[in-house]
Structure 1
Amino acid sequence: MPPGVAVCFSSLFIRLVCMAFLTSSDKALWHLALPMIFSNITVPLLGLVDTAVIGHLDSPVYLGGVAVGATATSFLFMLLLFLRMSTTGLTAQAYGAKNPQALARTLVQPLLLALGAGALIALLRTPIIDLALHIVGGSEAVLEQARRFLEIRWLSAPASLANLVLLGWLLGVQYARAPVILLVVGNILNIVLDVWLVMGLHMNVQGAALATVIAEYATLLIGLLMVRKILKLRGISGEMLKTAWRGNFRRLLALNRDIMLRSLLLQLCFGAITVLG
């Protein structure tokens, strides 16, 4: 199990045990916090599903390639987890202030940032993959399968990063069920497509990657529908959204810089455990 998933599940178990001793105020807080824990395991869990299905193929090379690819993907996307964290905080402030214009801004600005970063990753994925595989190392056969996996998997970068923003925004407006719904739907779809593309159509690692890409974009569509519902309830018009990209973008970048540094150090720790262990 990837380190990130293990940490999240152990943390979740401890908190569930402690729930029996919490006050009503504490429970209300955890009602919002627990879905955030679920949302944190989305990226590594998708890789875990791919690994489980590929493990049934006849060669360990496929499994090794997907494992390397899933690790690189988890490192990169978890590094950009600041998109969700900063969006949640800024959205909660705007929600508490009952400011529709600010709510629109906390959705549009991070979403533009996520789509821009995702597009860059997708466009520049080949040199980034070269660097990642050079750092990870391994046999030539395994690295070739990892490359095939990542060339398709990272096409989902715009959707994956946009999903982080949507999760953060929905949590900020206290729509606590959203992460659970998106996590369950996305992973069920990923499992079904994995089995069909890998086992049925014999697409091997490319099938596993394509299944995750489709699941990510489907999750994005569902998330946008949820956001649309909240926008109507909060009286946020299309005109507000059109002008929401303006404003103090520097504040958002400064906040994301600090959280990204924290995420980088955390991922380096997980990477060191994997390499040294």
Structure 2
Amino acid sequence: MAETQTLLEYVMVVPPGLPTILTEKTPNKTNDQYNWRQINSVGTWPEFTYGQIMQRYGQVLEQAQIVSEPMPDSPPQVIHTKGGFANRFHTYIHSRLRRALRAGFQHLAPQLATLHLTPVTVDLGDATQIIDGFSSDIALFQARTLNSTPNRCPGILKASWDWTSDWETAEAQSDRIEYLQVLSETNFYMKQHNARYGFILTDTELVPVKRLDANGNLLVARAIPWEAAGPGRSTVLLSLWYLGMLSAADDEWQIV
């Protein structure tokens, strides 16, 4: 019989650190549809914490069972491009997140209608509706659909040498602009799908984003390090799972 563990134990597993080599900083993507000037304000999203996650979904995390799956233990190959990081995301996070979301919704199945939750899954951005030819890197969207429903929580993958949350307060104006440029890209995809939530994930950190309105006013949660671990600390996988749960809330995920 397959060994099982709680969903909380499963999402608290930490991916290995990703070594880099020969990296070269390059400007982030620009487009006539979005630019850094469209970000009006960036505030703090203080509620995105381990304590809040456990307060809202601790019972599910501690009661739901999932078949154990060890994290791949072979040392990761070095990366030097965003494409390399995207490959590592799919190796260490993608399938685990999909399984974790499925386990959570299976546990909640009798209550989904009462809780106004629609099960979501994770895939590439082009698995959702493609609007004007644009799609984000990652999507959280209604399960068992393809290319027909909104991206409830668009995700952007970036290389850490091209973007880091520390650039919000960088001395160099060019870095502060790059910080806002990536937020504007995230905000653009969120606006396309009327989504309230989104995220930026690099090879060193996860940065959850909450959109307040259609005018470029955002809240940004404290960055979760890629290798964050330990009691009372949210992991990247747990945080992404929680973003999935937020995007599953039919009365919450959308800004109309």
TM-score (norm 2): 0.27
- The structure in which a higher percent of residues are helix is 1
Over alpha carbons, which structure has the higher Rg? 1
